[in-house]
Amino acid sequence: MTVDDAASPAAEAATPGTPSAPQGPHGYAKQKDQHLKRLRRIEGQVRGLQRMVEEDVYCIDILTQVSAGTKALQSFALQLLEEHLRHCVADAAIQGGPEADAKVAEATAAIARLLRS
């Protein structure tokens, strides 16, 4: 990748495992601010875990907070998945053809990753 490639919108949109992530309004666009607020709360939970370890808090208390953070991330992931299915996959299904098949396969792989985590 050259410096010019790194600055291009296509380079910014691509994520690991997704050679050409689509541009433009994603399924979460309407709730982007709410999602960012939720992610900041989750970040705060993780920082709280760091503090707990630094302060030598009892192991079970830390594990309880780890569980809460994990549940928050899983909940966020499910919301994002639902929005992806309602927006991206539904739009592709309406268009039909190989794009629809690709979106269904992509969503299926994402669900499988979530189930393994």
Domain layout of the chain by residue ranges:
31-116
Instruction: Give the tokens for residue 25.
Output: 């309004």
Q: pTM (2 decimals)?
A: 0.71
Which fold is adopted by the domain 31-116? Methane Monooxygenase Hydroxylase; Chain G, domain 1 (1.20.58)
Q: Return d(Cα 65, Cα 97) in angstroms, integer.
A: 45
The per-residue pLDDT for 16 is: 46
Residues 6+ apart with CB under 8 A from 74: 114, 117
User: What rounded mean pLDDT belongs to the chain?
Assistant: 84
Per-residue model confidence as pLDDT tens digits over 12-34? 344 444 445 666 678 787 889 99
Per-residue model confidence as pLDDT tens digits over 50-82? 999 999 999 999 999 999 999 999 999 999 999
Phi and psi at 18, nearest 5°, equal -125, 95
Torsion of the alpha carbons at 89, 90, 92 and 95, rounded to the nearest 10: 170
Tell me: pLDDT of 104 over 50: yes
